[in-house]
Structure 1
């Protein structure tokens, strides 16, 4: 439902394709891309590809045409388009008019089957989706093994033969492995931290951090969301006796680290985020600001922000990790759970109390911070109503004649008991929002 209205049936579109398709693009789409993005996205790509041949330059088709072609609702088409954009098969441009929008869909050719397996991230994702047996079969079929009887490679490189001279007489230094072989662009990601690690161990950096190895390291960091210190462990683990990087062992090490942290395997799923296509809606109320903050930050950041900016303890992080992995709570929901438990237990992170609530929230299938906050408020309101009904029932049933002094003492005790530790739920969320805002400013400052 959240994707309804992102595009309208009356909105128009053009299709562009500046690069030609590889010879085996249908095999790539069917066997390599389809397991990652699904049949609807592949069908949309093929429909737009053949639509380009039919369209006239001055004619604008509407998205209602696509709905009829594919027999799909518009929100499904929108999600299929996002998958094509995310996997690199499409770029989308938008022109806004008073009545409707016009989109330009620029199709990008898929990798040829053999090239697909040279992209470490796509290959690794495909491996996790279809399993090792099917992956090995496809790779062995599409990637032709080089013949071993060709002898040593003595081909001269560009830098061996040519030298670029500038008008002022300066010579251009050789780019070496920093040059992207596919585009010719010079790419130099920041791996100073890894260079420092290797230098401390007297390992030649140029031998390990080649262009392809740096590209692999960057992709595995993105795919598995690993911090630098864990990538460092994976690189050192995968070094050979000749101080070169065994790429297969490095990928296995990264996967093992991810599995140890998350108790699962990596999958390509739809990311539930708002796209940059629509205007960003800034939160106005304090509760909206709190929800936005809880959606954005990690549980570790939340703990540190609520601890005067100090470092979160290892024990607290272990409790949070166990609850998250056991109950399968998304990070925003986990943030609300942490916040709720801290408020109810005088800023103490009780594991037993957290596990009890987490199992309840997991059964409720909460996915966002907004849903979790609304659910928590509703549960607390129902608890308060049950408590009030129970007290009113007691008062009605009690008809005994007792001295005035006993009434006064009981009334005073009841007033104290009726004061909950945090009676105003809205006030609780606002107080935590102010804490987050305060400590975030300290951290950024």
Structure 2
């Protein structure tokens, strides 16, 4: 393995990750750090301190996206962006998104320590509200930057307590200026944990991501009749939960009939009146459908809606389906994919090209510039939970690969087509 030229400081990177993990820390080692909360503000304050200590120029845009810039030798050259996000799920892990931001910081710390000059500028970017756990939809900071969502849409999103995105962004002191948005972007690279079991199962060091699945979020409302659990005969009920359970089972079956890549998930469910001795009169549940082929994804959506609507008729209930969010599949730059492959080979790392089943900031950054992603293994494939874990050896390999890829890309005048 050829790492003689330069290597990241693993101990320092792990200390940085540990410091992050203390902000919003949960009992089992995870983090609760929802976007634009007090915990998010605390993490942002610390991140800005780290950026300044690394000698980077800090700025914040109107969506709250944060940037740390290392200038290049050519002041007119477009910038290479590297980063991810620092917000988490309600019971999230300490690596999801965070590893990409803090590894990017370590890359620039290392470059500055080694006094390595690059042709073009390099910017760390930390995006706001990638998870979408507090404000829906997800990937909002990157989506705003890429023009997928306009300002008024982003600022008007509300959480479950009715607080708006803009109110909370201002409250924590991180609404910057529109003129601070990233522009003149050469390319974007994001390091991330896999969040699945494939790399670990196949004993592979690095996943080279070729694209991201398209996905839909839907919400289904099943309307029946609330009744007393005792006097109401089974044959005369309009049980919304019974109907919903059959629908959920059918959704799973539709996807299993398709192929090994397609996924569908019901991750959120609520029922009314939510009482032990009442027949449920209303059930609302979410549907998440994903596939890298948009034609297949749309076929699955159509099939799911037809089948659950049929169940509603049979069970004598009503159903209302609304779309929460849709994003098409993304396919990354073949030139950047080749660059990552070449550097990984040079470092002696085993690799696998793979599609991402999870959404990432890279999905929308792909609309602005050539984009690619690097995955490192997740132990047991766990993510979006406190048990999420990635081994130090894999973190070192991922961060070192990012370091070498940054050096190579930041010296290029153009990406050859």
Same fold? TM cut 0.5: no
Q: Which structure exhibits the higher relative contact order, with contacts defined as CA atoms closer than 8 Å and separated by 6 or more residues? A: 2
Which category of TM-score, normalised to the shorter sequence, fits these structures? under 0.3
Which structure carries more helix by proportion? 1
Which structure carries more strand by proportion? 2
TM-score, normalisation: structure 2: 0.21
